[in-house]
Amino acid sequence: MTKGKLSMKELLAWQPETHVSATVRNMPPSGIRKFFDIVMSMEDVISLGVGEPDFVTPWHIREACIYSLEQGQTSYTSNNGLPELREGLSEAVRRDIGLDYDPDEGVLITTGVSEAVDLAFRATLNRGDEVIVPQPCYVAYVPDIILAGGVPRVVATELKEKFKVRPEDIEPAITERTRALLLSYPNNPTGAVMTRQDLEDIADLVVENDLLVISDEVYDKLTYCGKHTSFAQLEGMKERTVLLNGFSKSYAMTGWRIGYALGDPAIVGAMTKVHQYTMLCAPTMAQVAAVEALRRGNSEIESMKREYDRRRRLFVSELERLGLPCFEPDGAFYAFPSIEGTGLSSEEFAERLLMDQKVAVVPGNVFGDCGEGFLRCSYATSREEILEAVDRIELFLDGLRL
Amino acid sequence: MNEILEILEDNAKATSAEIAVLLGMSEEEVSRKIRELEESGVIRKYMTMINWDKVGEGYVYAVIELKVSLHRDKGYDTIAERIARFSEVQSVRLISGDHDLSATIRGRSMKNVAFFVTEKIATLEGVESTCTHFVLRSYKEHGVILYGKPKPKRLVITA
């Protein structure tokens, strides 16, 4: 014990960074972070870098939340979520994809799909268990698996296969420690979708190797060539699948942080246990808004989707005009053009485009090594901005060719 | 078809070429469909929404509710069509509730509108009573919100 001032020796002895766990220390920061800092220091940037809708949450949904606050609905909900919301979801899922999930045991409301992803790994992985992760994919899966003590086994998907994952991609990655397969279709960042047939092709492998499938289907409502098929809809796959989804993308409700997990009571129950000790429950007012979204939000989903589809066509046709090869994305709100022909790396291209023309895109390698040579461009922005961004990209490309 | 209409309803200036890209159709096909829509009267007119207040040419608007006596054979049509012919009248609608018809009048001044109603509308045969509501402020017209509060900004880059 020292009295009064600490001595210089004592001050030097305290090194807070040594108190950061090795796991977290070794975890690379999200590749988006660096970009974010540059972009924030600039003005007049047109952004194709945003992973969320540009629509504001429909007014009736916001209004329902305001009303609940006026009524003083500010307490916790039960751990697994408001009964009305779980029942409403169970009913909507039965109606939309014909699957039955018990609202009490098979449904868990989470704080965004992000939490649901984290819970799914933490509730199912033992130390050293391997999870197969097709890339390019959303940036959180790999770190979440590591935090849960698991080992991510990354599998590359390719442009020539339209970024779908095939059994021959997965098979070589399977070892005796493989426990789960992560699927995220419609895909962020590529916009790829998996048809029922594509999913059927990998189902056998899942059964043979006794895998659990963790399927993040948050973009399920945003498909432009036919209806989305969930992996859980395949025969015999419902029990093997933890289906993760949320309100963020389809209802333009990103900031509300409401997601959910559907699955077998054994697994959803395990996830609920972790959830109850960490999150307790998802925000009550946001759950109330989600109930309203489910009840009366469907026409808005459809009209937002129609608008995304138009922007998608507009953007892809403009990319074609610029000579940037891009397969036609069938889902989500991203295009993933190749910039290999320019001789620049994804990061160089994105950084120089930002500096020269003030257009923000996300370098593809942020979503996995196999994303190198591509850019993620979000078309969840107004048509005017898309066209302005394309004009600036054209100027940038002209500059490169000089 | 309906998607073409949806785009044109939002922006009358959208060209066939632009619409074709948005809907993944050929320009010729879009032009042909629009021509059909115009000829069949589905598309009635292409209009521009103007904020006349900004030009210093403000108009005065009033909503007039009317009670009318019914024409034996023609129902409400005769009187409604008669009212609709006045150029001051912007819309005429048959409505449910306490009144029968609702008309929107546009004029240069309150006096101008008031005289129009008392002289031209109230005196029509079949009009039993009128109730004039002057518009004090408009918050939303044709689906467009007129009070400007900028949308809160999104983060520029998110995963």
Structural domain boundaries in chain B: 2-39, 52-135
Report the helix count and the strand count for chain A, using DSSP H and E.
14, 12
Integer-rounded Cα Rg, in Å, for chain A is: 22
Of B22, B154, B159, the CB nearest to A313: B22
Cβ of A38 under 8 Å from any chain B Cβ? Answer: no
> What's the token pair of residue A12?
């030097």
Q: Which amino acid is at B152?
A: P
The DSSP symbol for A330 reads -
The CA-based dihedral angle spanning residues A96, A98, A100, A106, taken in that order and rounded to the nearest 10 degrees:
-50
The DSSP symbol for A374 reads B
Burial of B30-64, coded b for 16+ CB within 10 Å and e otherwise, reads bbebbeebeeeeebeeeeeeeeeeeeeeeebbbeb
H helix or E strand, kind and range, residue A134: strand A130-135
Cα gap B67→A116, rounded to integer Å: 60
Cα gap A116→A248, rounded to integer Å: 13
| Length of chain A measured in residues | 402
pLDDT at A247: 97
Name residues of chain B where pLDDT drops below 50: none
Bridge partners, residue A374, by sequence: A338
Please tell me the number of Cα atoms within 13 Å of A270 on its side-chain side. Answer: 13
- Helix, strand, coil fractions of chain A, as percent rounded to 5: 50, 15, 40
Name residues of chain A where pLDDT drops below 50: none
- Count Cβ atoms below 10 Å from residue B151 Cβ, excluding itself: 8
Cα gap A79→A387, rounded to integer Å: 46
Q: Which amino acid is at A94?
A: R
Q: State yes or no: cis peptide before A16, omega within 30 of 0.
A: no
Cβ of A52 under 8 Å from any chain B Cβ? Answer: yes
Bridge partners, residue A181, by sequence: A132, A213
pLDDT at A122: 98
- The residue extents of the domains of chain A are 9-57+300-401, 59-296
Angle between helices A383-401 and A346-357 (to 10 degrees): 110
Cα gap A249→A378, rounded to integer Å: 13
Residue B124 Cα to chain centre, angstroms: 24
Summarised one tens digit per residue, pLDDT across range A265-280 is 999 999 999 999 999 9
| Residues in CB range of B57: below 8 A, 6 or more apart | none
The residue among A297, A275, A256 whose CA lies nearest residue A112 is A256
Of A45, A51, A317, the CB nearest to B159: A51
Of B21, B23, B156, the CB nearest to A45: B156
Contact call for residues B113 and B107 (beta carbons, < 8 A): yes
Chain B residues inside the 8 Å CB shell of A32: 157-159
pLDDT at A32: 80
Which residue on chain B is closest to A334 by alpha carbon? B159
A9-57+300-401, CATH topology level: Aspartate Aminotransferase, domain 1 (3.90.1150)
Q: Class assignment of domain B52-135? A: alpha beta
| Length of chain B measured in residues | 159
pLDDT at A79: 97
Does CATH number 3.40.640.10 belong to domain A59-296?
A: yes
pLDDT at A334: 97
Cα gap A307→A80, rounded to integer Å: 34
Helices (H), A98-216: 112-124, 141-147, 167-170, 196-208
| Residues in CB range of A231: below 8 A, 6 or more apart | A183, A199, A203, A213, A215, A237, A241, A243
Full-model pTM: 0.89
Chain A residues inside the 8 Å CB shell of B23: 310, 313
Q: To which residue do tokens 């408009």 refer?
A: B138
SS3 category, B128: strand
Cα gap A174→A153, rounded to integer Å: 9
Cα gap A110→A351, rounded to integer Å: 35
Contact call for residues A327 and A342 (beta carbons, < 8 A): no
How far does the CA of residue A317 sit from the closest CA of chain B (Å)? 7
Which residue on chain B is closest to A306 by alpha carbon? B3
Chain A residues inside the 8 Å CB shell of B151: 56
